[in-house]
A and B are shown apart, each in its own frame.
Chain A
């Protein structure tokens, strides 16, 4: 079944759209809601695919090119699906001077993907992050919400990642 919009995303039966619609309705009318709506959509869907941006465009009247422009400007928005786990290697200054590049190289080697990419198995998405505010533990990586610090010895990284492979 095709939607009005021509896509096949099954909007009508997907409660995520209902959830997003409810959010939009709750903020509609106030100024400057574009970012907050995109943030909410990203939270609900995990990323911002075409269908979702189209849906938002239709509902808040902002051209889709503008939404896409915003989504690709801010590094926290994703337009491709992300891996189950998010690996952020801190490349903040404190971490960098204490060897974050080595950490990054090791993580890249372990995951076999570059920065901003997702592993084939869909398990990990790798990002370079800015300072995570844990400079005292530098160099650090963050997997989902957990920070792993003092990674001066990069050989421990493979064990850390393996925990998420189970």
Chain B
């Protein structure tokens, strides 16, 4: 049954029949014709601002006025589109030249060289000169935050970041300001990203076609530490990193590269190569126990996960009334660091002061999390430097490692062993599923075989499930919810505030899709995103790794067991609290400044 109404159109003489709601842009794709775009980000930013996608068109022989923008122009029966006439070519070229005339063209030294959509377009159009000289936008380079650099000299005012932050994330840190030639994209009052309601999720970085928004890089500090013979440099890599790192080397989106990643890290020169998956398992132990306690003792419910720093910051700023609902657990990144500088240092007999704790994360918010004052134990920072997947890709390239031909290697002991539960942390619903695997076992006292909680998987914005488990001896329906993307989290919290929803446990990930689509992951261009959904592909990579694991439950991880036996003396113990738990506070932004 074909319920979609189709219309017939011609693109450059090629006839295609496409659904009625298609744009000319999409119809052209069906016809195998590529039309350039810059501002268009499917489903997110369809504001037709850049005018590089213009075409000539007529409908049943009646020419359309001017050159319409194909990214928003709906197809009509009898529409005839030409994308390759002299008039169109000249117009597209001139609009790109106009953008370039107001752009800090320093590709050679630019972070986005190679992944930049504007640069690519220039080459494709064969632009070899910019015929206009004149005023340029005031260059504001804001690098005060730990996570994000905003560089207005590279901004092309496409609005993709604005739509992403405002509409997808429901936050609205950035907006157009001023107007006309003076238009900028910035926070209010030109405040630094450091001092505003930004959660550093980096979704805007993904949206940005150029280098106007980029992560703050700490690669040099890592190289320095590695070079320093007095330092013991240890690296952990988050679950989602392995699902994206390959993209930095041209592999298809969502190709798992765990083994090569480990090998590369060793070759870069880290003294130990560990895995955040280990501390993901540890998080489940702590968080699961906390949940059980709250269930058993009538503690604050629903309990909400705390492993996403973007989400934590969001909650601290927008939902301070829910701070008691947050699990007190530090995130896996921080737990790892805390264990590294205590337990591991002791075991390996290394002065913890000499340890440099480096993390590789899919995340830009982790950089800010690592710098939170409370994220330390006895004066030692849990994590000293937090890098993104992209930065690791850059380091591998800088080290001139032939990544694609590396052998597969495994992590070092004793902070490298992990279960399948730890792996799926990187996808939305993963933490919930991992927690349920452990909590259900504990409550039932059995080693349950049915461990795939498919209801919490997938890209639905808010997912709900319930499991009946014995709590205090009585079978209780434990209701859970999973939200990814802060806009979805807000929906859940608003429903709770309004008394319209009721849960025991909620997983929130700040990024849509969870960490697999974190702000530090590899760039996927707007064009490529028409064909692939990075969130789905990368999550798939994690779920298949989970399936391949022998151990799939956190509490089965032998190294975790050992850690509790030898050191922590059980989940939620006093020491565990000191090292692995934290607290939150209401956060004010846009404070007055001179």
Instruction: Please count the residue pairs between chain A and chain B whose beta carbons lie under 8 angstroms apart in the complex.
Output: 58
Surface stretch bound by A, among B36-44, B53-61, B167-175, B543-551: B167-175
Give the residues in chain A near B197, CB-CB below 8 Å: 63-64
Asked if A65 contacts B592 (CB within 8 A), the reply is: no
Bound CA span A53–B197, Å: 14
A144 within 8 A of partner (CB): no
Asked if A50 contacts B189 (CB within 8 A), the reply is: yes
Please report which residues of chain B, range 171-186, place their CB below 8 angstroms from some CB of chain A when the two chains form the complex: 171-179, 186
- Whether A6 contacts B175 in the complex (CB less than 8 A), given A50-B189, A64-B188, A79-B189, comes out as no
Asked if A50 contacts B179 (CB within 8 A), the reply is: no
Bound CA span A29–B188, Å: 25
Q: Chain B: how many interface residues by the 8 Å CB criterion?
A: 20
Interface residues on A, range: 20 to 34
Asked if A69 contacts B588 (CB within 8 A), the reply is: no
A72 within 8 A of partner (CB): yes
Name A3's closest neighbour in chain B (CB-CB): B588
Asked if A8 contacts B175 (CB within 8 A), the reply is: no
Asked if B173 contacts A6 (CB within 8 A), the reply is: no
B177 in complex: contacting residue of A53, A63, A68, CB < 8 Å = A68
Would you give the shortest CB distance from B187 to chain A, in whole angstroms? 5
Bound CA span A67–B172, Å: 10
Bound CA span A117–B250, Å: 53
Asked if B590 contacts A63 (CB within 8 A), the reply is: no
Asked if B592 contacts A7 (CB within 8 A), the reply is: yes
B591 within 8 A of partner (CB): yes
Asked if A50 contacts B590 (CB within 8 A), the reply is: yes
Bound CA span A63–B171, Å: 7
Give the residues in chain B near A64, CB-CB below 8 Å: 172, 187-188, 196-197, 590
Asked if A65 contacts B178 (CB within 8 A), the reply is: no
Give the residues in chain A near B177, CB-CB below 8 Å: 65, 68-69, 72-73
B174 in complex: contacting residue of A50, A62, A65, CB < 8 Å = A65
- Whether A67 contacts B188 in the complex (CB less than 8 A), given A72-B178, A72-B179, comes out as yes
- Sample (16) of A-B pairs whose CB atoms are under 8 Å apart: A4-B588, A7-B591, A8-B592, A50-B189, A51-B592, A54-B590, A62-B172, A63-B166, A63-B172, A63-B173, A64-B196, A65-B188, A65-B196, A68-B177, A72-B177, A73-B179
Please name 12 further chain A to chain B contacts, defined as beta carbons within 8 Å, in addition to the given A50-B592, A54-B590, sorted by A numbering: A6-B592, A50-B188, A64-B590, A65-B172, A65-B173, A65-B186, A65-B187, A69-B175, A69-B176, A72-B179, A73-B177, A79-B189
Of all A-B residue pairs in the complex, the 6 with the closest CB atoms, nearest first, are A63-B172, A68-B188, A69-B175, A6-B588, A65-B175, A64-B188
